[in-house]
Structures are given as C-alpha cells and as structure tokens.
Homo-oligomer: A and B are copies of this chain.
Amino acid sequence: MTTKRTVFFISDGTGITAESLGHSLLSQFEGVEWIKQRIPFINTREKALEAIQRIEAVAERDGCCPIVFTTLVDEEISTLLEEAPALCLNFFKTFVAPIEAEINIKSNHTVGRTHGRTDSSDYKNRIEAINYTLAHDDGITDRDLSQADVILVGVSRCGKTPTSLYLAMQYGVKAANFPLIPEDFDRGMLPGTLKEHKAKLFGLTIQPERLAQIREERRPNSKYASLANCRAEVSDAEKMMRREGIHWLDSSTKSIEEISTTVLQEIRLDSKASF
C-alpha cells in the first residue's frame, strides 16, 4: 500500500531552492506518493497566515501532518509558520547560525536574494550565455566561436542541445554545439572551423539502440532512425573523435545535469559556477 503525504515548499522568494533540496530528500523514500504544493513569495505576515490556513486545511483532509520545507529568511514569518500543524523544516535557518559562528559575521537576513538579483554580473552572464547558446545551436554558425567556453559535438539527437542550454542557464557557460553528420565522416574532417577551436571541443556519444529509439520518435520508419544507420553514425563519430583527440562521454543513461557537470570538470570550467 502506498502512503500519501502532502508536502509544501514555502519561500519568501521563488521557492526553487526549497524545492531543489526537498525533492532530493523525498527521492530517498520509496512507497510514498508525495502531493506537492508550492507557495512562493511569502513575504508578509498576511501571506504567512494564508499559507498556514492552507496547511491546516490539508492536515485536516489528510488526517496527518504535512511536511513543510522552507527557506524563509524573515524571523517573524518563519516563527509564525512553525505554529502550523506540520513538520516544518527550515533549510535556511538551520545552517545560517553555524556559518555565522564560523566566519564571525552576522548574516543580513535579506529576503529574496537567491533568485532575485538581476543586476548581478552572474545573472547578466547567464542571460548572455543563453542568447549565445541559442545563436550557436546545432551548428547554425561558426561566427564568434572564439567566445565559446565549450563546443559540444556528436551525432544528431545525442543530447547536445539540452545540455548546451543547461550549461548556459545554470552556469552562465557559453556552449555552442555542432552535429557530426555523414558528410563530415565522408570528408574525414570536423565540420566548419572547429579544428581551430580543438581545446574547447567535447564530444557526446550514445548507444546506437538508444539513439534509434529517440530518432524513431521524431521520424518513424526513416533510414535516419534505423538501427543500422545509427550504428554506422555512432561508430564513425567515435572514430573521428578518437582520431582528433576529443574527450567524450556516453550520454545514454545520463541526465543533462550529469552530463553538464562532467563537461565542466573536463573543460576545467569548474570554477565558473554562477547562479
């Protein structure tokens, strides 16, 4: 029998941080169906009282305590919320005190700092990186490649585009990407002017079976999606990357977050960690 439990993510800002750690914790419990409710922008006493009413209604409906994950910064609102009939876990409050003690500086308790700083250079970098990445998706152009932080290469549909966008959005990394296509294998040469930017190249490969499955969804019964063709393309791409000395990763069972994290390590962009 599956247990049903309601979870709230409550924040004075977007609630994205509370959700991120909350989801991570919940993924550790099996046999529980989590009903998730997001309550962002709780930055006044009145809104906090409304949130408490929602929690009370759910506690009554479920016949048990909801779990409330918060990142509330404001002392008064946070304390108010603790009166709700719930297991209230404040990710923020728990860790601010030990950091204050360690560095001997008081935190400023400013609300909405995490995802509300559009004037910071980190934020501007991220927006610029998203624009760059969109303009350099799928080999559209090899202009301004000298500005790229990384250039992903690999056969069509191996995960280059979502990975590039994740790198840009999460880390402010300018990620161009180029497909390796049969014409490149015939010529035996990397596409466009990529040879000049070899130090920035990173390859993605994929199991032919998985590739065929993905391509079949896009273009059913095509030669493009056939297993034989996928096998040949993947084999040719790997040969080319090996010959050119391009590091690569098999994306078959990896999420875009895992691929992105590995790319950052490989291209030595680890220190570029803006968000």
Contacts and interface: CB of A to CB of B under 8 A. Distances in A.
A256 B264 CA distance: 23
Interface in A258-275: 258, 260-262, 264-265, 270-271, 273, 275
Given A28-B109, A113-B24, A16 B102 contact: no
A258 B30 contact: no
Contact of A98 (B3, B89, B102, B166): B89
Interface string A51-67: 00000000000000101
Given A24-B113, A94-B94, A118-B255, A29 B87 contact: no
B99 A29 contact: yes
Q: Which 5 A-B pairs have the closest CB atoms?
A: A115-B257, A28-B107, A27-B113, A24-B114, A14-B261
A165 B105 contact: no
Contacts of A260: 14
Interface of A: 3, 5, 9, 13-17, 19-21, 23-25, 27-32, 36-38, 40-41, 65, 67, 71, 73, 87, 89, 91-92, 94-96, 98-99, 102-103, 105, 107-110, 113-118, 123, 127, 130-131, 134, 137, 161-162, 165-166, 169-170, 253-258, 260-262, 264-265, 270-271, 273, 275
A28 B169 contact: no
Point out which of A71, A127, A162, A260 has the most chain B C-beta atoms below 10 A from its C-beta.
A162
A109 B40 CA distance: 29
A106 B39 CA distance: 27
Nearest to A137: B134
A28 B110 contact: yes
21 contacts: A13-B258, A16-B170, A16-B257, A17-B21, A21-B21, A25-B92, A27-B110, A27-B114, A27-B117, A29-B103, A29-B108, A32-B105, A36-B271, A36-B273, A37-B270, A38-B261, A40-B265, A67-B99, A89-B99, A115-B257, A130-B165
Given A23-B114, A91-B21, A118-B254, A162 B127 contact: yes
B38 A273 contact: yes
A26 B162 CA distance: 29
B113 A28 contact: yes
